[in-house]
């Protein structure tokens, strides 16, 4: 279990950290969300399965005051061979006098992924495909130094723009956070450097789209690769240099709680009694 001083440090370190509650309530919420994340085991591979490692410190803490009378959540990563292979957002909100806990995941795993969970809710997650990053066309060659590559990643991120359209047909502009949520280097294999960047809703700090960027060694030299990850039940649209490059639109196959290959999964999981620190007298 994560110690309270680590939780407080995570809140202070997280970019755009919200502070809508008293300190005791924040720590209690973070403990709840951490324990929910730790209840999942992410196993990679079929022939020689390996357990991925959960980073116990959230990489981002967020709120969305416009949804469900106020959502509050934390984003975690599970790593394998020092690379993030699952991004998960655990969040909760008041509902009918109690608190609903939700789990939202997206795979970044290049091998078959087998999530399993301990005691708790009944729903599970079964990704049906591996996830590959795509070459980022027209991107410059990765710089030699880590500091210069960070500058590059931020500049590449600014080349994208994103927006969402909710169930009420309202459009929300998504803004790119200035700093990556997560940075990883010295990864096993061909990855030189990588980062997760987030586009968050203008209604709060809720990450709706996550952009994965990686500098990789290839037979033709070093190059940038990318992948856009859905983290919303709204319709999502992403453009690069004025041209749409990705969308996630709700339909019969791309539903509220999963995408066609189930590499994305949203679980409205467990209803619990409201936390004492958050009860309204």
pLDDT tens, 76-104?
999 999 999 999 999 998 888 899 999 99
pLDDT tens for residues 133-162? Answer: 999 989 999 999 999 999 999 999 999 999
Q: Taking Cα atoms as reference points, which of 144, 68, 139, 138 lies closest to residue 99? A: 68
Q: What does the pLDDT average to over 4-20?
A: 41
Higher pLDDT, 132 or 137: 132
Q: Which residues contact 260 (CB under 8 A, 6 or more apart)?
A: 253, 254
Distance in angstroms (rounded) separating the CA atoms of residues 132 and 247:
17
- Per-residue pLDDT at 69: 76
Distance in angstroms (rounded) separating the CA atoms of residues 207 and 247:
15
- Per-residue pLDDT at 26: 82
Tokens 């959540």 belong to 73
Q: In this structure, what token pair is assigned to residue 59?
A: 């990489």
Whether 2 has a pLDDT exceeding 90, the answer reads: no
Whether 217 has a pLDDT exceeding 90, the answer reads: yes
Distance in angstroms (rounded) separating the CA atoms of residues 109 and 32:
26
- Per-residue pLDDT at 251: 95
Q: What's the pLDDT band for 8 if we cut at 50, 70, 90?
A: very low
Q: What does the pLDDT average to over 252-264?
A: 96
Tokens 């061979």 belong to 81
- Per-residue pLDDT at 13: 40
Angle ∠(84,189,181) on CA atoms, nearest 5: 25
Helix (H, G, I), strand (E, B), or coil: what is residue 31?
helix
- Per-residue pLDDT at 7: 41
Distance in angstroms (rounded) separating the CA atoms of residues 249 and 258:
11
Adjacent-strand bridge partners of 267: 103
Q: What's the pLDDT band for 21 if we cut at 50, 70, 90?
A: low
Cα atoms in the 13 Å half-sphere on the side-chain side of 111:
19
Tokens 């990679």 belong to 44
Higher pLDDT, 69 or 46: 46
Q: In this structure, what token pair is assigned to residue 234?
A: 């709204």
Whether 6 has a pLDDT exceeding 60, the answer reads: no
**Whole-Å CA distances, 95 to 70, 71, 219, 220:** 10, 10, 53, 54
**Least confident among 72-81, 115-124, 176-185, 261-270:** 115-124
Whether 74 has a pLDDT exceeding 50, the answer reads: yes
pLDDT tens for residues 34-61? Answer: 999 999 999 999 989 999 999 999 999 9
Angle ∠(159,160,162) on CA atoms, nearest 5: 155
Distance in angstroms (rounded) separating the CA atoms of residues 266 and 4:
27
- Report the chain's mean pLDDT, rounded to a whole number: 89
**Least confident among 62-66, 106-110, 113-117, 145-149:** 62-66
- Do 207 and 228 touch, CB atoms closer than 8 A? no
Higher pLDDT, 269 or 88: 88
Q: Taking Cα atoms as reference points, which of 3, 121, 21 lies closest to residue 61? A: 21
Whether 1 has a pLDDT exceeding 50, the answer reads: no
């Amino acid at each position: 279990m994560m110690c309270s001083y680590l939780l407080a440090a995570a809140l202070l370190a997280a970019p755009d950290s919200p502070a809508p509650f008293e300190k005791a309530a924040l720590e209690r919420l973070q403990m709840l969300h951490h324990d929910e994340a730790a209840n999942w085991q992410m196993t990679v591979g079929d022939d020689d399965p390996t357990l991925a490692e959960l980073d116990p410190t959230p990489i981002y803490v967020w709120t969305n005051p416009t949804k469900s009378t106020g959502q509050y959540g934390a984003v975690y990563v599970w790593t394998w061979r020092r690379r993030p292979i699952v991004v998960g957002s655990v969040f909760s909100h008041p509902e009918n006098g109690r608190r609903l806990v939700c789990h939202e995941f997206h795979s970044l795993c290049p091998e078959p992924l087998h999530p399993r969970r301990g005691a708790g809710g009944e729903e599970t997650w079964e990704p049906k495909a591996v996830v590959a990053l795509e070459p980022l066309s027209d991107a410059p060659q990765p710089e030699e130094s880590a500091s210069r590559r960070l500058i590059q990643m931020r500049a590449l991120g600014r080349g994208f723009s994103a927006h969402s359209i909710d169930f009420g047909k309202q459009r929300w502009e998504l803004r790119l956070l200035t700093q990556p949520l997560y940075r990883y280097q010295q990864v096993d294999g061909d990855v030189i450097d990588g980062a997760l960047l987030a586009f968050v809703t203008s209604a709060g700090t809720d990450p709706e789209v996550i952009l994965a960027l990686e500098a990789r060694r290839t037979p033709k030299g070093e190059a940038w690769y990318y992948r856009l990850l859905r983290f919303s039940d709204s319709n999502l649209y992403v453009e690069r240099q004025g041209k749409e490059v990705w969308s996630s639109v709700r339909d019969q196959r791309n539903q509220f709680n999963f995408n066609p290959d189930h590499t994305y999964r949203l679980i409205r999981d467990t209803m619990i009694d409201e936390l004492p620190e958050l009860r309204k007298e």
